[in-house]
Amino acid sequence: MDTSSADEGRILPADRQAPFAFRVKKISAYACLAPTPAVVSSFGARRERGALLVALEDETGHVGWGEIWCGMPAAGALHRLALLREFVAPFLAGQLVRDIPPCVRTLATRLAPVEILAGERGPVSQVLAGLDSALWDLRARVAGLPLHALLGTGSPTLRCYASGIAPDASEAVLDRLRSQGHRAFKFKAGFDDARTLPLLADQRRRLMPSERMMIDANCGWTPRSALAAVRELREVELEWIEEPIRPDCADDDWMRLREVAATALAGGENLFSEAEFSRASAWLGVVQPDVAKWGGVSQALRLGREVERRGGLFCPHSFGTHIAAMTSAHVLAAVGGRGYLELDVNDNPLRASASYAGWIARGSITLPDAPGIGVGLDVAGISAHVRDSFSIAAAGVAFT
């Protein structure tokens, strides 16, 4: 898969961006940590959720939001905030932004010492991804358009699924999700196979024929155990099996799984370059970049269009707050919307789930026609969970 191009018009032509140029006058960021009930996966139990949310304000008062991934450990939010505050915010404040991808590439040069000397490829990628998304949200708000309308002509109604469900979830849990409008459900896998695999088969039998089911192993299987699990699940009707093994496993291991599996393999949330996505296109039927981890809106949109062109299914990954979820939703809509939108249904005090739960009906979510991504952050509402924050304004500019 070739997503590289010297023509940034594959995102949005510069002449279409020009009328919506803006100057960044203030950058604010909020590093949050909140205790939660345990979310169990093959990576272990998470009892704290973290988030780093960034706001960019222009001269006229428009505010664009982006989310910077910091899921594990949750305290990574503090580290990424430090990178943002020291290396990026002072430079970005006051900048006139005409074309977003070149702006983000310039910001990448500011973070190059961290990536190269400190070996922090992941945190740098995540900071840049969140900033890219915030810039696009701000551009859409300046334009007075929903982000998907600015980016493309796709439908604002998308299939969605409830994500992060325990394999032993009760019927009452599923009924509650159904009452919220969900008709597709993704269960955790990749641990305690002797107990979990039969539970997953039972869950499929309990679902209605019209309902859809996915499983996510979170890289929890070895190539050998993944083959055994995939064979055991051959009779279970699934939309996909997500991250059965680590993304850095040998190509032959992935290809063998693809040949044995009765359904598509999915992945992408832990890939960090065009080259990695190109390599994985040989075995991934479902491609899942995370706008808060790599590339933001710019790269996710280009990748999604390429995935659709070659007949794959583009389903952006999102397992954070409503900011990343709605950014992903608008990218999916702009791409064409054939895929599913992931919605984390675990308790998270940092996520304003009410901002989208009311939009779901019969397994689909319809995006509002508000400018940008259509949601923001209630800073006062999460103040108890803000561990560190900053606001940096352009020189000579006063804000109240």
Provide mean pLDDT across the span 374-399: 85
How many Cβ atoms sit within 10 Å of the Cβ of residue 52?
A: 29
Q: pLDDT averaged over the chain? A: 92
Dihedral pair phi/psi, residue 222, rounded to 5°: -80, 165
pLDDT range class, residue 161, cuts 50, 70, 90: very high
Q: Is the bond preceding residue 349 a cis peptide, omega within 30 degrees? A: no
- Cα dihedral 366, 371, 373, 379, rounded to 10, equals -120
Statement: residue 2 has pLDDT above 80: no
Tens-place pLDDT, residues 36-47: 887 777 777 778
CB 314 within 8 A of CB 303: yes
Rounded to whole angstroms, the Cα distance separating 300 from 57 reads 23
CB 5 within 8 A of CB 76: no
How far is Cα of residue 164 from the mean position of the Cα atoms in its chain? Answer: 14
Tens-place pLDDT, residues 212-257: 999 999 999 999 999 999 999 999 999 999 999 999 999 999 999 9
Provide mean pLDDT across the span 287-306: 97
pLDDT range class, residue 354, cuts 50, 70, 90: low
pTM of the model: 0.93
pLDDT range class, residue 14, cuts 50, 70, 90: low
Tokens of 188: 């955790």
pLDDT value for 81: 97
How many Cβ atoms sit within 10 Å of the Cβ of residue 236?
A: 18
Nearest to 229 by CA among 194, 199, 253, 259: 194
pLDDT range class, residue 135, cuts 50, 70, 90: very high
Tens-place pLDDT, residues 72-128: 888 999 999 999 999 999 999 999 999 999 999 999 999 999 999 889 999 999 999
